[in-house]
Every structure is written in structure tokens, then in C-alpha cells.
Structure 1
Amino acid sequence: MGTVLPANVPQTLYVTVRRDELSQLKAERDQLQKKVAQLTLMLQHAQLASPGTALHA
């Protein structure tokens, strides 16, 4: 068994983000969400096309 360590008290980190940075981050997030949806759809199509060779998670 490993060494038991005392739990640390959670700390809050405050950061400052400019409006333009926040807008850019939101745009990046939206773009990444669309890409994830696209790749998920492609994966589903690939699994339907060849169910015998699909990887199972």
C-alpha cells in the first residue's frame, strides 16, 4: 500500500481575462465543439460501414 498523505485544502485561483481574449476563447471552443461533433459523426459512419473491424471502448 502507498503512503497516506493528508488532503490539501482546496485553493481558488482568480485570473483576469480581457474581453477580446474571452471572445477568442469562446470562438475557439465553438470551433473545437464543431470539430468534435464532425469527428464523432465520421467515427460512427466508419463503425457502421465496417462493424467487424471497429474498435470497442
Structure 2
Amino acid sequence: MGTLLPKMPPQTLYVTVRRDELQQLRDERDRLRQQVAALNLQLQQAQASDKPALT
């Protein structure tokens, strides 16, 4: 059996982000969202072209 440790309360972590860093993070987030949307569209198109046509 392992040693039981008392449960510690969660700790709060505070960070400081400069405005330019925050803007870079937002730009990267937007770019990644656009990339995900484009990849989802490509996936849907590929899946649609793989399905046999209903007659």
C-alpha cells in the first residue's frame, strides 16, 4: 500500500500577460480557428465524395 497524503486545497496561479503578448495569442487563436474550419470543410467534402450517389 502507498502512503496516503492529505488532500491539499487547489492553488490559484496568477500570471501577467503583456498587451502585445495577449494580442499575439488572440491572433494565433483566430488563425487556428480558421484552419480548423478549413480542415472541417475539406473533411466534409472528402466524406461527401466518398459516399455513393443515391439513385
- For Structure 1 versus Structure 2, the TM-score category normalised by the shorter chain is 0.7 to 0.9
Per-residue CA deviations over 1:11-34 (Å, capped at 9, x if unaligned) read 211100000000000000000000
Equivalent in the alignment of 2:24:
24
Q: Which has the larger radius of gyration?
A: 2
Equivalent in the alignment of 2:47:
47
| CA–CA distance in structure 1, aligned partners of residues 11 and 18 of structure 2 | 23
Q: 1:18 to 1:46 in 2, by over 3 A?
A: same
Structure 2 gap ranges (5+): none
The total of aligned residue pairs comes to 50
Query: What TM-score does the superposition give when structure 1 sets the normalisation length?
Result: 0.72
Query: What TM-score does the superposition give when structure 2 sets the normalisation length?
Result: 0.74
Give the share of equivalent positions with the same residue, in percent: 58
Equivalent in the alignment of 1:55:
none
Equivalent in the alignment of 1:10:
10
Give the aligned CA root-mean-square deviation in angstroms.
2.3
